[in-house]
Amino acid sequence: MSLTRRKFIFLLPAAAVAWKYVLAGTPESAPNYQTTKHWWGMLMDLTRCIGCGNCVRACQAENGVPDGYFRTWVERYHVADWHMENPRVDSPDGGKSGFPGALGAGGKNFFVPKMCNHCVDSPCTQVCPVGATFESQDGVVLVDPKYCLGCRYCVQACPYGCRYLHPEREVADKCSLCYHRITKGLLTACTENCPTGARQLADLKNPADPIHEYLKTHGVQVLKPHLATGSKVFYNGLDGSVR
């Protein structure tokens, strides 16, 4: 086949489209990582959480989260007998230094670690006026700090309270599911440091990931399911009193 000038010019747009696909799916810093091959989520097994605060400390050390702000935190619940609607909840310093004492005598007591739910239909992404927050192709809700204006729309929109305005950089900040770690094949800092396996990173696109068997065989719930945000943080043993 002879390639005339005319044919070549006709091929240029197709080549441009093809090149775009070559570029897509490969963030520069992690050359072997393909964004289209993963779909990240997290499993929280509340029957294992001991409220040690390791995840909170690890997250702050890994991500440079300022004191008093949290990308992940642990709450302690106390439900007195039948008072499902009115649980007592505390989270001293995000649970970073553990939970001394008791919230009340008797009743039901348990810990609930919380973090960004990396929603499929995330309210925070929908309200961003400049495209600074987005859901990546591998299912992680991220903030582009260079593009964020600091308008706080997303902080208000998140129904789980998972976002804050970084006090120094004055841009929205949140859990990135340790994107700089998972793209290198590492676990998130919180998962790596959870001593009981209460947190488990899950790749929902990987058929060999134990998450699939787990979801099939356990009574799993997401937080605030009535909001239909498409949360990908799954809780095992979630009590109805958890808000």
Nearer to another protein, 187 or 204 (CB): 187
- Count of residues engaged in binding another protein, rule: CB under 8 A: 56
CA dihedral 109, 199, 189, 118 (to 10 degrees): -100
Burial of 144-181, coded b for 16+ CB within 10 Å and e otherwise, reads eeeebeebebbbebbbbebbbbbeeeebbbbbbbbbeb
3-state secondary structure of 12: helix
Element (H, E) at 142: strand 141-143
Site map (CB under 8 A) of another protein, residues 38-57, x = contact: ---------xxxxxxxx---
Residue 32 Cβ, how far from another protein at the closest point, in Å? 12
Nearer to another protein, 3 or 14 (CB): 14
Q: Supply 84's token pair.
A: 């499902």
Identify which range of 11-19, 25-33, 199-207, 226-234 contacts another protein by CB under 8 A: 25-33
Decide if residue 180 touches another protein (CB under 8 A): yes
Residue 17 CB burial class (10 angstroms; 0-12, 13-18, ≥19)? exposed
Distance CA 52, CA 94 (A): 11
DSSP string, 25-94: T--TT-TT--GGG--EEEEEETTT-----HHHHHHHHHHTPPTT--SEEEEEEEE-TT-TTS-EEE-GGG
Q: Which of 39, 73, 99, 234 binds another protein (CB under 8 A)?
A: 99
Q: Which of 4, 29, 32, 86 binds another protein (CB under 8 A)?
A: 29
Site map (CB under 8 A) of another protein, residues 127-146, x = contact: ----xxxxxxx----x-x-x
Q: Which of 20, 32, 208, 216 binds another protein (CB under 8 A)?
A: 20
Tokens 């099939």 sit on residue: 216
Residue 25 Cβ, how far from another protein at the closest point, in Å? 8
Residue 233 Cβ, how far from another protein at the closest point, in Å? 19
3-state secondary structure of 173: strand
Nearer to another protein, 5 or 100 (CB): 100
Distance CA 102, CA 105 (A): 7
Residue 146 Cβ, how far from another protein at the closest point, in Å? 7
Q: Between residue 100 and residue 129, which ones bind another protein under the rule CB under 8 A?
A: 102-103, 109-111
The residues binding another protein (CB under 8 A) are: 20, 23-24, 27-30, 33, 35, 47-54, 58, 61-62, 76-78, 98-99, 102-103, 109-111, 131-137, 142, 144, 146-147, 176, 179-181, 183-184, 186-187, 189, 192-197
